[in-house]
Every structure is written in structure tokens, then in C-alpha cells.
Structure 1
Amino acid sequence: MSLLRLPVRWWRRARLGTRLVALATAAVVVALALSTVVLVVVLKSTLERALDAAARQTGEDVAALVEADNLPNPIPAGGTTVVQVIDPTGRVLAASAGADRLVPMLPKDELALVKRDEERYEPGYRFGVKDVVRVVAVAAGDKTVLVAIPAGEVHESVRVVRVGLLSGYAVLLVLLVVLAWRMVGAALRPVEALRRGAEAIASGGESPRRDTGRLPLPRAQDEIFRLAVTLNTMLGRLDAARARQRAFVADAAHELRSPLASLRTQIEVAEVTSVPAEPADLLADVERLTRLVDDLLLLARMDDAPAGGHPAARRPAEPVEMSVVADVAVARSAGARVPVERVDRPGAASAVVEGDEDALTRVVTNLVENAARYAETRVEVRVGAADDRAWLEVVDDGPGIPAVDRERVFARFTRRDDARDRGSGGAGLGLAIAREIVRHHGGTIELSDASPHGLLATVRIPLSHPE
């Protein structure tokens, strides 16, 4: 049992190139062995048919002489061919030169086998020949013409061909194995280059082929080339994700440091002066920390959730009326520095989407809070539907945002320069959370210029049941 396990264990531990060469060698060995067998069998059969045809022709010629009662004695036979004519009683009627004229070359039982099988191999000593002979029996009335032709040359020819084939195939097999080893090695060389590049990256190094990607690309445009391109794309995305993660962690640590430092300062001052800290100030910092942590957790859940999911609510999607969402956001902004009004547009009654009402309310609330922070006189929340999409607009008449900054403000921890103070600005996560929530609902959010001035924020989400 252990002897049977050794090849299996070797096969499992062998390198891929070794296994491929072994498979190719096994296939070549089987192919060469089959070709050798077929060639030898065909050659032997062809030579035997030639001998049988010559012997049968000689037998038929002699049979014709017997039937014509014109049989000479000795019977003329060319070369080393031996001929006997035997009557039914086993008596030799005539024979060729060199053949026994008294005793049949074959006993009755073996002669019967030759008659039945038509041709057979027999030992040559019975016919006065050194090697084996090919024996053929031809009927001539009630008599039998027995013809024996030496077959040593046939056997020798088959042996020479067999030895030559085996020797030539052995050399050919060695050459094919060497060629297969070189070809498999060349085919797997790009894979080894990919492995070394990946090992260098895993150990903290960098690939020297920075012009074509972190992993080297093979010259051939084959499957390995496409694999290398895919791996380079994946590594690029991983690098970008790692960079975003580092920036996110750094920004989060920076944002968390400020309220923590404020809390610590107030507590230390209270400890030194024996004057209790103001609970309202402490509570404000705690609430700021709570909001920041909640926002970070929400972003983390949305990063892990696929588009179309709603990680914020963690419950199945349900029909949500955008008018209701707008009403809730407007109600929450009742104490804002400028009035916030809701305006219905065509299709407002049919603006129903599938999603999470709380998450969408948070989106609109964030947009309304940002608009109210910069508006001069008023903020409008408009709801409508068109082209199989529900849309919601938040419009203010403030200074607006330059076009070059409208995409940047959606990045995490990004705040405008005039929103850096704690009183007027947040942590810079509101718009980032809003875009992620809208994206998970299959929608978009865009910023553009309002008329005559100000900022227009537009949210578009597919309708639940479009007409």
C-alpha cells in the first residue's frame, strides 16, 4: 500500500512544470508505443501475405499440372521453396528437388490443420530449411499440394524494424522531453515572474516595472497577460483603497482629537480650579463625538454593503414617498436661521421610491442644513417626478459653490474654508453620507447653480412603480 502511495505523493508535491512534462511524456510514450505496435503488425501482416501469395501461386501451378496429369518429377520450384504432392493415403507422389520423396513433410494431423487454416508456421528442420517456414496447402482433386517457403527473412525484417523503431523512438522521446521541458519552462516563466513580483509586494517591496504596472506583463497577449492586467488592476484598487483608508483614519483621528481635547481641557480646568465644568459644554462635546462616531460607523457599513442595499436601516426596502421625506426634513429645520419651505412640482404625488425612509430623510436633512447655513433669505425643498425617476431639489440663495469644488465637497472630511469653525461647520461627512445613501438607492445627487444665484442640490432616485 505504501508503494502505491509514493507516486501519488510525488505527483502532489511535484512542480507544475514537472507534472506537465510528465503528462506530455506519458502521452508521447503511449502514442509511440501504439504506433510501433501498429507498424510492426502491419509490416508483418504485409510480408506474410506476400509469402502466402507466392506459396499459393506455386501450389496452384503444381495443382494445375496434377489435374492435367502432366506432373514432372522432380517438381520445379524456384529458390528454396519446397513442394510435395500427397495422395489421400499420405503417400508422396512427387516432390521438388531437396524435398523428401518418401515421407510427407507433415504428419496427417498437422496436414489436416494446414488444410483447415490454409497457412501456418512450421519448424524449418522438417523441410530441410534452417529457419521457420510458411506452409500452404492447395487441393488438387483428391490430392494435396504442400508448399513450404522459408520465412526467416520475414522474421528478421520485422525484428530489425522493431529494434530500429524502439531505438529511434527512444532518441525521439528524449528529444521531445527536452523540448517539452524547455517549452513548458518558457510558458511558465511569466507565471514565475508574476509570483516573484507578488512576493516582492507581499514583503513590502515594489516592482521595478512601474511603467506597465506593479506586476510585469508578458510579451504575448495570452491568458497570462490578461491575468497580469487583472492583477495589476486589482493591486491598483487595493492601493487606492489603502490610501483612502489611511486618509480616512487620519482624518477621523484628527476630528476625534478636537472634542476629546476639549473635554479633557474642561475636566482638567475643573480639577485644578475646583470649579465644576459646565454640563452643557461637556454634553455638546459628547454629542459631537457621538454624531461623528455614528457617521463613521454608517460610512463603514455602507462601504461593505453592495449597491442597492440599505445598510443604514438594516431592514428590507419599502415604498417611500418623497413628499413625506421632504416634510420631515422641513419640520426638523423649523429653528433654522432662514425659513425653509416645501414646494410641490408636477408628479410630486407619484414620487414614490423603494428604500429606507430614515436614510433618505437623513439625506434631505443634511442638504437642508447645509443650504440653511449659507442661505441669505430662504431655502426651498422641491419634490417632483419625471422620466421614471423621483427627484428632490434643495435650493438656497447663498454664495453657492464654485464648479471646480462641487465634486470635492462630496469627499469625506472635506469642508469649505468658511466652515472650519466648530460653530458653523461639521466634520465634513454630511455630503459624503448623503451620496452613499443615494447611491445605495440606485440614484444620483448633483450640485449646480441656482437661479438667479445660490446652489441647487438635486437628488434623483428610480420610481418604485414607473408608468
Structure 2
Amino acid sequence: MARLGIFWRIVLIVALALFVIQLVVFEGVRRHKADATVERRYSVGERIVPYVQLLDRTPIGERPTIVALARTNGIALSFSKTPPADLPSNFGSGLVRISFLVRHELERQGLDDRFFAVGPGEELNGGDGDNEDERRILVQIGLASGEVARFDVNDTLTVRILGWPIGFGAGALGFIVAIVALCAVAREARPIAALSRAVDRLGTRLQPEPLPEAGAKEVRTLIRAINAMQHRIANLINNRTFVIGAISHDLKTNLTRLRLRLEMMPDNPHRARALQDVETMQGLMTDALIFAKAALAVEEVEAIDVADMLATVLAERAIVPDVLTLAEGTEAAMVRIQPAALRRVIDNLIDNALRYGEGYLAVSLVSEDEHVVMAIRDRGPGIASDMQEAVFDPFVRVESSRSRDTGGSGLGLTIVRQIVEAYGGTVRLGNLDPQGLEAVVTLPRGQSGPRGEPGPPRSEAGHTREPT
């Protein structure tokens, strides 16, 4: 089985399903034929007409013997002096074919001049409970003596196997076999679904997440290739981070020496601009290293209260927003994330708002059923709609005041998106009316521990201050 591919596995499943159907139908037909007590509608004429011929040749006094013989074959035989006044209709009772078979047998035996009628019979008391799904059929045929022989027989109006109508049985069997086949196919597809989820997680974790090699030969080969690819990607990212870190370290050392030399130079405009360039280069190297590490993954996450982190960042930086609204309540804004990663997101967004916001900063935090939503707003020039996605690309800047002249390396928003998406969240930008920019970060909520356990105090929680 382990050597079979997907195609041959599906072929095997279908073949087994067809074999089971054929086996069950064969066994049902075999039992149906072997059961002598089951009367089939296509044999009614052949069973009844010989009794008519026998009754024509037998004296009336010996009829009880024939009646007893018929009873042993499941036929209740009685007589009437004259034909019934109201003949039963052969139509509307599902008996048209039985009437045809009786007429055909009478003609074949040369009795085509005889009166006959076929209609529903009456249930007999004391009937066998095993035949309760069969209906009584009353066949009346005229005798040579002028009397009418009444044959009350058990007959199934629809062909049945094991007591069930063949159509219903075939449908039920097909449904059961289809369910079993679907379960088998779903079992074969399970490794593919697991592989899809693993591929979707690629790029959000530093360490590879090897998948067990299971399923068809092609699936196992693909899983093996994906596992190897994960290791190669992890090695490439580690090597890239190592190289960037090494370059950043060496450049920072040289930049530090250059800064010291500049500090020792006489004070003049060229010295000030050179120092500013050195600081810009140091910031660029720091952001580049953070960008390289931000794409790595989400190991060692913790339950962090976003409101606490916001309050801490604002307090340490001595920033008093014009509007500050934080979610209240224990575990109201808990997310599972690395503390340093969350702080980097908050720092970058606040830096952008302070750099371009023209002195206005508004921070809000809303706790929803499954997410925590943080919004940071400013009153700067905003970003054109067609550029609001592009600014998340590395080193992309917009025109106007949001340019290199005002600072920034072009990696701040890129780092924010990488971190947020690595933890299952989203980040978007939107312009405000009449002006300004809003950055909205949405992160999935996470529990911090037993419900009701108090969290650390928040001095800023719930505080709202309108601009003066």
C-alpha cells in the first residue's frame, strides 16, 4: 500500500466499493432464489393455471385435497358459484403486469376463453410475520363447471432482496459505499491538508517544522521535499541575518570611530552635517538588522497586555498624547507575542506619528471578541491611497514631508507589517478627514492565565484626554 500512488489508491478504493456492491447484491439474489417461501410476481400465472387444469379434471368431492395442496404452496383456494358482479380493476393497484402474465399463461394452455380477474386480496389471520411486507393478490379464474376458483396468494408487488425493495436497497447500499469511499479519500487527502497548513506557516517561524511522511508515494515525496526546503530556507535566513549582523557590527565600529573624529573637529556647518549623516547611517544599520530579524519567527511568545505596553512606552518616552483611550479590565487586551516585537511595533508607529504628525498624536486601544485593535493617528499630510500599500515595502518613501529629509530609513512600516503578520495579525493605513493618517494594528487575543487572576496595574488604563 505504501508503494501505491494517489491514482492507484483512488482506483483501488473505487474497485473495492464496486466489489462490495456486487458481493452484497450477489448474496442477496442467492438468498432470494433459495427462499422457497418468497413468491415472485412473474411466476403467479405459472403456479395458478395448473390448479385450474387440475380442478377441471377433478370431481367436486376431491377438491379439498387440491385446496390442502395449494395451501402448502402459500395459496388460499376457495370457490364461488358465479363471477363477481363488480370486477376488480387491474389498473391503479399495481397489478397490470400480473394480469398480463395470467392471461399469457391461460392462452398458452389453451384456456383463453376463461373468465379471469386480478385484484388485491384480503389479509389472512395468523399470517407469518416475516411476510408482513407482502400484499395479498386475489386471482379469479372461471372453471369448466361454471364456477369461479379464487386464488388468494402472497406476492411482493416490487422485487425485493432480503425483504427490501431492490431500488431502495440499491440506493441505500450505494449511499453507504459512497460514504465509506469518501472517508477513504479524505484519509488519503489528510497529509495533503497538513502539508498545505505547514506551507502556509512557512516564513513565520525560525525553526523548521518537519512534517511526518505519510500518505501516497507522491505525497511522501512532496513532504520530504518541503521538509528539506524548510531547512534550506532556515539556513539561508540564518546566514543572511549573520551576514547583516556582522556587517552592521563592523560598520558601527567604523562609524563610531568616524563620529569620534568628527567630535574632535572644530565646530562648523560641515561638521554638523557630517555628524547628522553618521547618525542617519547608524540608524539605517540598526533598522536593517531589525528588518532581517523581524522576518524570523515567533518563538518564546508570552501573554502581553497591549495596554500596559502602550502605557509603558509613552511613560518612558515622556509622551502625553492628545487623546489616549486604552481598553479596561483584566485580560481585556491580552495578546501572545514577544514583548520586544510588540514594543518595536508601537515604537515605530509612534515615531512615524511624531515625525509627520505636526504635533498631534492620538492613541486608542479597543478589545473585541477575538482581536485587539490598536489605532495611532496624527494630523500630518497623510499618504496617497495608491501608496498606502507600497509604503510597506522596504526602503519605499513617499514625497512631500514624508521623505529622507525628515529622518527614517524606509524600513519602519516594513518591520511593523512583518512582525504583526508573523503573529497572525494585520496592519493597514488610512487617511483621516480633513487631514492626517491612521495606522490600525489588529492582533488575535490570547489568554494570560487563569481567568479572573488580576494582571499588573495600569496607571493609564481608561484615561481619555481631549486636545486642548
Pick 1 or 2: higher relative contact order, CA cutoff 8 A, min separation 6. 2
Q: TM-score range by the shorter chain?
A: 0.3 to 0.5
Task: Give me the TM-score of the superposition, normalised by structure 2.
Answer: 0.38
Q: Hey, which of these two has a bigger chunk of helix by percent?
A: 1
**Whose radius of gyration is greater, 1 or 2?**
1
